[in-house]
Amino acid sequence: MKTKLLLILFGISILQASAQKHSKEFTIYGGGGASFFLSPPSSSASSIGYHADIGFGFTYFFSHTVGFHVGAGFGINNITAKVGKLQTITPDSVNRIGNYIPFEEYKDDGTVIPRYGRVHTTLYDYTEKYQTKFLSIPIMFQLQTKPKQQPLRQGKKANFYAMTGIKILFFFDQKYEVSLKALENEIDFGYGPLLGFPEPHFSGLGIFNNDQKGYITTGKLGVGMLALFTFEAGVKWRIREKLLFYTGTYFDCGMNDPIKKNRQSLNIYHDPVFLEELTLLSFANRINLMGVGIKLRLAFWQLSKREGCHYWR
């Protein structure tokens, strides 16, 4: 026990000594930009939206040019994804649409052999709107050049900086709206052309469009988490002796789909009963949330005793 206590005290003393040797920044930031989903081009999906966040952070500099940044923030995200046409084929083992066997073949002796066809389903104008609030935790490394004279401000200096790392987003208050213009079911028994029936809606076949009004379902999701790779770069301006201003742009790339567990396979939609309550769909093999935008930071510079102010002179 004494040994552990001595090690803890020794570690604290090292951190205190290190803090006296190096500089620190306390920052307040705000930013925002465009959001979109990255999905394979073959999915014919398009998406666009916006996001914004504010927060604070702390940067510890190991040297004049290398630092480590952590922070916390709050933000909102709003994005809409659209897919003009989604098509799927149910497996051959699926021989019913609803409660109706589509086709039966009669032999000469009067016995009945059901024909198991494949259902071809087409979804038209699938759209999802996704709105959420989130808490963000950035963990990043910062690299920067040494300050140089600003061309338009006599006696003031600036330097370039770049930050990279990860952001952890904890989503809450997630709302969604899913809409679908129409669903079409056709069936193929292996004879070549797709066959229709005199009573297609009774058999689960045909076009379902809700009198061309479409179908809409809204709902809420539980708490989710998203990991983002992030990169930011820009210019760091000296306003006063201990006051700095960052202007930069950033790019975020999601490493997972925060609502993947809520997405359903296209195959469930062969039965029109699912139109009564639409769900979020897996419209692509991989769906990544992306973002680009502008970041502004106000930094309060705390110089080390050893450095003094000569770094910005």
Q: What confidence tens digit (pLDDT) does each residue in 202-218 have? A: 567 778 888 777 899 99
19 in a structural domain:
no
pLDDT of residue 277 exceeding 90, the answer is no
pLDDT of residue 220 exceeding 50, the answer is yes
The pairing of beta strand 118-144 with beta strand 24-38: unpaired
Range of the domain at 59: 24-87+121-187+210-312
How far the first Cα of the chain sits from its last, in Å, is: 49
| Lowest-pLDDT range of 9-23, 34-48, 176-190, 297-311 | 9-23
What's the whole-number mean pLDDT along residues 295-302?
A: 90
93: confidence class by pLDDT, cuts 50, 70, 90: very low
Task: Provide the CB-side half-sphere exposure for 52 (13 A, CA).
Answer: 1
Question: What pLDDT, on the 0 to 100 scale, is given for residue 227?
Answer: 93
195 in a structural domain:
no
Question: What pLDDT, on the 0 to 100 scale, is given for residue 154?
Answer: 57
Q: Which amino acid is at 8?
A: I
pLDDT of residue 183 exceeding 80, the answer is yes
Total domain count, the chain? 1
pLDDT of residue 274 exceeding 60, the answer is yes
In Å, the largest CA–CA distance within the chain is 103
Whats the size of the chain, residue-wise? 313
Burial of 3 (0-12, 13-18, 19+ CB in 10 A): exposed
102 in a structural domain:
no
Cα 80 to its chain centre, rounded Å, is 12
306: confidence class by pLDDT, cuts 50, 70, 90: low
Nearest Cα to Cα of residue 188 among 266, 270, 111, 126:
270
142: confidence class by pLDDT, cuts 50, 70, 90: very high
In sequence order, what are the beta bridge partners of 309? none
202 in a structural domain:
no
1 in a structural domain:
no
Q: Which amino acid is at 100?
A: Y
**Residues 132 and 76 sit within 8 Å (Cβ to Cβ):** yes
192 in a structural domain:
no
45 in a structural domain:
yes
Cα gap 54→89, rounded to integer Å = 46
What's the whole-number mean pLDDT along residues 173-202?
A: 71
198: confidence class by pLDDT, cuts 50, 70, 90: very low
Question: What pLDDT, on the 0 to 100 scale, is given for residue 104?
Answer: 56
Residue 3 or 37, more confident:
37
pLDDT of residue 305 exceeding 60, the answer is no
295: confidence class by pLDDT, cuts 50, 70, 90: very high
Give φ, ψ of 209 to 5 degrees: -130, 10
| Lowest-pLDDT range of 140-144, 258-262, 282-286, 306-310 | 306-310
Task: Provide the CB-side half-sphere exposure for 2 (13 A, CA).
Answer: 0
What pTM value is reported for the model?
0.75
pLDDT of residue 60 exceeding 80, the answer is yes
Nearest Cα to Cα of residue 180 among 261, 41, 280:
280
- For residue 101, CA distances in Å to 95, 97, 123, 165, 205 come to 7, 7, 22, 56, 11
**Residues 189 and 103 sit within 8 Å (Cβ to Cβ):** yes
105 in a structural domain:
no
